[in-house]
Amino acid sequence: MGVFSLTHLLVDFACFFVLFGAFFNGIDEPHLISAGFLIYNAVAFALQVPIGYLADKVRFSHGIFAVIGCVMVLLGVILPAWPWIKLSLCALGNAGFHIGGGIDSLVFARGRYARSGIFISFGALGVALGTLVGKGDLLAPWTIAVMLAVCTVLLLRFCLLSKRPYETTFSFTPATIKTGELVIYLCMIAIIMRAMVGAYNPVPWKSTVFLSLLPAFMVFAGKFCGGLLADRLGARRVASVSLLIAAPLLAFANEQIILCSIGLFLFNVTTAVTLCVLVSHLPKLPGLGFGLTTLALFVGTAFSFFIVMPEIVRPLLICAMIIVATGCIMLTTSNGRIKS
């Protein structure tokens, strides 16, 4: 788990280093920059659905997808290529790595939420650090390429030496909604709502390096702790209470550093819950299940590229979207697991 989690941080770091460095500085037209970021999100997130389904069908070591993804990101960082090519390599590599690492976090979860939450959490740190370093041109590309190469070798060795299970083993006590397809749709709606909140809710106080990294750390901490808390206190209880407390903090106190930071932590506690509940209804297709969650993230984020939310209605809409997400989670989760 440690190798995949740290590589997750580095892969997202490298991708956003390229996005905010080589791509942003290599494209002159603002509308093309915006289009590039949208295309990156579409490839890196939506493409995980077919890649995940392919991984489920071939069923050889899923870590190979992570290795291939790392190599593609490495090429995107180091090749002296056209910015669009660098962006495309990073986006494709990101999708491949996430599927390999996501499946690993699910098939070794032992029926618990914690492992998936820990794996997912490290991406937030990578995005923030990569953005900061890319904007400031603080590292040479070859240093990042070397780190990616080391992680790639470690992943490859891990894949070759490990016998890997495939099916997931989540076994939760019945929730209010028991129909598998409906549970999947409701989980995706919850994720779309969360993604829209994240895209539309500004954090205006990021004026220093520390304050720029603080939101990312709170997102990381929320995802990291969310699965652990769900295992200990019950998924429905933890997810619903955290979202309901986060709603007013993000909607009405986003300009207050401490309150907004608490809101970001609580808001991200639910990440592992929706992922694991969704995948529990696709036990033989963990790659597809993981891909459906990232597709939902893309759909929710994409709205912000086309629709501007007026400030006057933002707080109420933020609250409404969080309440919808809370309702979906309460209908699809429970507070316990079936004892084996």
The pLDDT of residue 159 is 75
Query: Cβ distance 168 to 106 under 8 Å?
Result: yes
Choose among 262, 203, 230, 211: nearest CA to 336.
Answer: 230
Report residue 146 as tokens.
């070397």
Q: Give the largest Cα separation in the chain, rounded.
A: 59
Residues 6+ apart with CB under 8 A from 247: 318, 319, 322, 323
Burial of 123 (0-12, 13-18, 19+ CB in 10 A): buried
Do residues 325 and 190 lie in contact, with contact meaning Cβ atoms separated by under 8 Å? yes
**All structural domains of the chain with their residue ranges:** 2-161, 180-332
Per-residue pLDDT of the chain (340 residues; tens, 9 = 90+): 788 999 999 999 999 999 999 898 888 888 899 999 999 999 999 999 999 999 998 876 788 899 999 999 999 999 988 899 999 999 999 999 999 999 999 998 988 999 999 999 999 999 999 999 998 888 889 999 999 999 999 888 877 766 677 788 888 888 888 788 999 999 999 999 999 999 999 899 988 999 999 999 999 999 999 999 999 999 999 999 999 999 999 999 999 999 999 999 999 999 999 999 999 999 999 999 999 999 999 999 999 999 888 989 999 999 999 999 999 999 999 988 765 4
Give pLDDT, residue 183.
Answer: 94
Q: Identify whether the C-beta of residue 55 lies closer than 8 Å to the C-beta of residue 100.
A: yes
| Same fold across 2-161 and 180-332 | yes
Distance CA 126, CA 50 (A): 25
Q: What is the CA radius of gyration of the chain?
A: 19
* 3-state SS, one letter per residue, for 237-292: HHHHHHHHHHHHHHHHCCCCHHHHHHHHHHHHHHHHHHHHHHHHCCCCCHHHHHHH
pLDDT (0 to 100) of residue 340: 47
The correct CATH number of 180-332 out of 1.20.1250.20, 3.40.50.720, 1.20.120.80, 3.30.930.10 is 1.20.1250.20
What per-residue confidence (pLDDT) applies to 322?
Answer: 96
- Three-state secondary-structure class, residue 172: strand
Query: What CATH superfamily is the domain 2-161?
Result: MFS general substrate transporter like domains (1.20.1250.20)
Q: Give the pLDDT score at 339.
A: 58
Q: For the chain, what percentages of helix, strand and coil (3-state, to nearest 5) are there?
A: 80, 0, 20
Please give the pLDDT value at position 137. Answer: 81
Q: Is 27 exposed, middle or buried (0-12, 13-18, 19+ CB in 10 A)?
A: middle
- Identify which of 161, 179, 163, 176 has the alpha carbon closest to the alpha carbon of residue 281: 179
Q: What is the pLDDT of residue 163?
A: 67
| Neighbouring-strand partners of residue 337 | 172
